[in-house]
Chain A
Amino acid sequence: MTEVHASSAGKEPVEGGNVGMGTQYLEVRGLTVDFDGFKAVSDVDLTLFQGDLRFLIGPNGAGKTTVIDAITGLVPASGSVNKSGVELLGKKVHQIARRGIGRTFQTASVFEELSVLQNLDIAAGAGRSVWTMLRRRHGVLPAIEQALHTIGLTKLADQPAGILAHGQKQWLEIGMLLVQNADVLLLDEPVAGMSHEEREETGNLLRRIGAERTVVVVEHDMDFMREFATSVTVLARGQVIAEGSVAEVQANPKVQEVYLGTAAAGSAEAEETGAAELIEEKS
């Protein structure tokens, strides 16, 4: 991991990226996902540069998760997904992952029987030689040690991941993306079900790691979005209806219409997340 470079230590993610053209980018053009005639995503364009912290928002069923699924190869799609000159569509899931695209899931999916350290070691290991694989793991790789520190789980390194709290599991997943050497991070509702403090910590974590990567966050929580997003893309019914800074998007009448039009659904959703938080606090 190269996060501690002096040149980037003070860098923050900004709209349009913080390093300009000529570095890592992800260019999505005309992305369409067709489920037997139902277009879950149609003709989506996205351009993401390194150092951008992009939020993908929209009402339920807008196709946010499907966009991530298509980019990561989970669902077949047409169009083009180009990462720094390499076409990703048509490749298999694990090949895309090796190209530096990492993702998390709505429900944290860490390997519960393995320790935090083992989880990270596996994430760091794609591309290891047969000889390395057949030998025992000795010591801790520097990159893993640093990731443990970044996600604040150093003290829990030897604990099984199954005993972690909900928020810690999400952080572990983010840590796994860091050691996986992913430079495009696609996070699907990373703060769902988190307490207020956990949300703040997660947001700050995203700001820190987003300086040198491209981070895309699918999110329902508008307060969280307002606080941490550097740019926002709004999806509705599978299409991009607006894109820009938080202020621009909020001022966009189309966006207001979509969110007012589905105000009922929006409040129901808020209740849902509220309930999830309650459950989380109880357990």
Chain B
Amino acid sequence: MRSLPESLPGRLVGRWQTWAGFGVAAVALFAIAPALLSSFRLSLLAQFLCYAIVAVGIGLAWGRGGMLVLGQGVFFGLGGYMMGMHLKIADAEIAGNDVPDFMQIAGVRELPALWVPFASPFVTLVAIAVIPAGIAALLGLGVFKRKVKGAYFAILSQALAAAMAILLIGQAELLGGSNGLNGFRTFFGFRLADPVNQQMLYFIAAATLLAVVALVRQLMQSRYGELLVAVRDGEERVRFLGYDPANTKVVAYTVAALFASIAGALFAPIVGFITPSQVGILPSIAFLIGVAIGGRTTLLGPVLGAIGVAWAQTLFSEQYPSGWIYAQGALFIVVVGFFPAGLAGLGMLWARRRKRSGAEPTPQPDNDPDAEKVGARS
């Protein structure tokens, strides 16, 4: 765990480092990547950034809050489908039809009631922000207030992902069944076939990722972040200090769900489809793998892990189409079994070793001389 800089110079250095870090990330995402990558690769990277946005939320809920969220596909799917519904309606309007193409084939003449609100871009955006977060908050309150935790919570969240995928597959006429929603042509009036608009989507994903990282950074360093770690390590103990740990956990769970929803909503136009196979158990676990490998308790570990694993998957699959799944499984087992703190944990271990061998072993000086005076007594 990183210790917070206490003294004023320390805080200034910390702040400078933070800005520098965000600056480097912004240059890499907004200048270097678009210059180096073909539009196909850039679009792939945009897709990976969506996974990274989900991963940031998982890092908060799982790494800091100890909630093994095995069902983030649910919220990812909710965001993706809501965005997809809006895009399909918009495409149909441009083509002069009442209903999206797949409904016409099925013989549906009128827009179903579930779809009607998503004709409005504003309602769609609000719904993406509010509905998954609201569901997560209600679910979290129900589950955490009853002190359901650990493996039971993990199984529950996974079952939810499975149920959602099955539900979607069953709705062929309403939501496209196992084909999902696909063939989006426009995004809020911009033609998706145009590479410039694809690049714009990439920039939106990159900006969202930076914003999400900044938000989680603030949460982790706040008093709330300290309390969340305390809840993770001693939920019962926290109760005896006068807190209801359920509330603390609900906040992290809701934030993670919100991020997953936003990521899903970006994923749909970037990739061009959203299907039940982005929602079920497998994708939900896949979200977790990058987080575990990168280092779940850190801020950037989940981001780099998610992007790295997705990138590796693409490269590997291009060479050995069926080999990736084995490599992924092996990587997961090795990390969970031998490096539970992930690659970030290895990095910290290495830094500590170097510090110990190099630096002088003097104990930290007491940095508040006032303590003696204030506490002076009989």
Q: Do residues B226 and A114 form an inter-chain contact, with CB atoms below 8 A?
A: yes
Shortest Cβ gap from A116 to chain B (Å): 11
Tell me, yes or no, whether A85 is within 8 Å of chain B by CB: no
Q: Do residues B242 and A98 form an inter-chain contact, with CB atoms below 8 A?
A: yes
Tell me, yes or no, whether B154 is within 8 Å of chain A by CB: no
By a CB distance below 8 angstroms, the chain A residues around B364 are 158-159
Q: If the complex has contacts A122-B227, A135-B222, A137-B226, are A145 and B374 also in contact, measured as CB distance less than 8 A?
A: yes
By a CB distance below 8 angstroms, the chain A residues around B237 are 105, 109-111
State A105–B167 Cα separation when bound (angstroms).
48
| Residues 108-139 of chain A, each 1 if its beta carbon lies under 8 Å from chain B, else 0 | 01111111001101110111100011111100
Q: Do residues B240 and A137 form an inter-chain contact, with CB atoms below 8 A?
A: no
Could you say which of A9, A94, A125, A135 contacts B239, with CB atoms under 8 Å apart? A94
Q: Do residues A136 and B227 form an inter-chain contact, with CB atoms below 8 A?
A: no
State A2–B352 Cα separation when bound (angstroms).
41
Could you say which of B221, B226, B371 contacts A149, with CB atoms under 8 Å apart? B371
Tell me, yes or no, whether A78 is within 8 Å of chain B by CB: no
Q: Do residues B241 and A126 form an inter-chain contact, with CB atoms below 8 A?
A: yes
Q: If the complex has contacts A111-B237, A125-B223, are A145 and B3 also in contact, measured as CB distance less than 8 A?
A: no
Tell me, yes or no, whether A42 is within 8 Å of chain B by CB: no
Tell me, yes or no, whether A103 is within 8 Å of chain B by CB: yes
Interface residues of B, CB < 8 Å — how many?
35
Could you say which of B1, B3, B219, B378 contacts A158, with CB atoms under 8 Å apart? B3
Tell me, yes or no, whether A275 is within 8 Å of chain B by CB: no
| Residues 18-32 of chain A, each 1 if its beta carbon lies under 8 Å from chain B, else 0 | 000000000000000
Tell me, yes or no, whether B101 is within 8 Å of chain A by CB: no
| Residues 162-178 of chain B, each 1 if its beta carbon lies under 8 Å from chain A, else 0 | 00000000000000000
Tell me, yes or no, whether A195 is within 8 Å of chain B by CB: no
State A98–B244 Cα separation when bound (angstroms).
11
Q: Do residues B374 and A97 form an inter-chain contact, with CB atoms below 8 A?
A: no
Q: If the complex has contacts A111-B237, A122-B226, A126-B243, are A134 and B218 also in contact, measured as CB distance less than 8 A?
A: yes
Q: Do residues A114 and B374 form an inter-chain contact, with CB atoms below 8 A?
A: no
By a CB distance below 8 angstroms, the chain A residues around B233 are 111-114
**A147 nearest CB neighbor, chain B only:** B375
Q: Do residues B224 and A114 form an inter-chain contact, with CB atoms below 8 A?
A: no
Q: If the complex has contacts A94-B242, A111-B234, are A154 and B223 also in contact, measured as CB distance less than 8 A?
A: no
Q: Do residues A111 and B229 form an inter-chain contact, with CB atoms below 8 A?
A: yes
By a CB distance below 8 angstroms, the chain A residues around B241 are 94, 97, 122-123, 125-126, 176, 180
| Residues 226-267 of chain B, each 1 if its beta carbon lies under 8 Å from chain A, else 0 | 110110011001111111100000000000000000000000
Tell me, yes or no, whether B360 is within 8 Å of chain A by CB: no
Q: Do residues A122 and B242 form an inter-chain contact, with CB atoms below 8 A?
A: no
By a CB distance below 8 angstroms, the chain A residues around B243 are 94, 125-126
A-B contact count (CB 8 A): 117
Give the one of A3, A118, A132, A146 with max B CB within 10 A. A118
Q: Do residues A133 and B375 form an inter-chain contact, with CB atoms below 8 A?
A: no
Q: If the complex has contacts A97-B241, A111-B229, A133-B223, are A154 and B371 also in contact, measured as CB distance less than 8 A?
A: yes
By a CB distance below 8 angstroms, the chain B residues around A115 are 3
Q: Do residues A121 and B226 form an inter-chain contact, with CB atoms below 8 A?
A: yes
By a CB distance below 8 angstroms, the chain A residues around B375 are 145-146, 148-150, 154
State A111–B232 Cα separation when bound (angstroms).
9
By a CB distance below 8 angstroms, the chain A residues around B194 are none
Tell me, yes or no, whether A142 is within 8 Å of chain B by CB: yes
Q: Do residues A155 and B234 form an inter-chain contact, with CB atoms below 8 A?
A: no
Interface residues of A, CB < 8 Å — how many?
50
Shortest Cβ gap from A98 to chain B (Å): 4
Q: Do residues B239 and A97 form an inter-chain contact, with CB atoms below 8 A?
A: yes
**B248 nearest CB neighbor, chain A only:** A133
By a CB distance below 8 angstroms, the chain A residues around B221 are 136
By a CB distance below 8 angstroms, the chain B residues around A133 are 222-224, 227
Tell me, yes or no, whether A255 is within 8 Å of chain B by CB: no
| Residues 39-76 of chain B, each 1 if its beta carbon lies under 8 Å from chain A, else 0 | 00000000000000000000000000000000000000
By a CB distance below 8 angstroms, the chain B residues around A145 are 368, 370-371, 374-375
Which residues of A (71-114) have their CB < 8 Å from a CB of B? 72, 92-94, 97-98, 102-103, 105, 109-114
Q: Do residues B230 and A134 form an inter-chain contact, with CB atoms below 8 A?
A: no
Tell me, yes or no, whether A140 is within 8 Å of chain B by CB: yes
Shortest Cβ gap from A35 to chain B (Å): 19
By a CB distance below 8 angstroms, the chain A residues around B3 are 115, 158, 160
Q: Do residues B377 and A3 form an inter-chain contact, with CB atoms below 8 A?
A: yes
21 A–B pairs (Cβ distance < 8 Å), ordered by A:
A93-B239, A94-B241, A97-B239, A109-B237, A110-B237, A111-B230, A112-B233, A113-B1, A125-B223, A133-B222, A136-B221, A136-B222, A145-B368, A145-B374, A146-B374, A149-B371, A149-B372, A154-B371, A157-B368, A158-B3, A160-B1
Given A148-B375, A149-B372, 13 further pairs, Cβ under 8 A: A3-B377, A4-B377, A111-B237, A114-B1, A122-B241, A133-B224, A133-B227, A136-B223, A137-B223, A137-B226, A149-B371, A154-B372, A158-B6
B residues adjacent to A (C-beta < 8 A): 1, 3-4, 6, 218-219, 221-224, 226-227, 229-230, 233-234, 237-244, 364, 366-368, 370-372, 374-375, 377-378
Closest 9 CB pairs of A and B: A149-B375, A126-B242, A97-B242, A98-B242, A93-B239, A133-B224, A111-B230, A154-B371, A109-B237
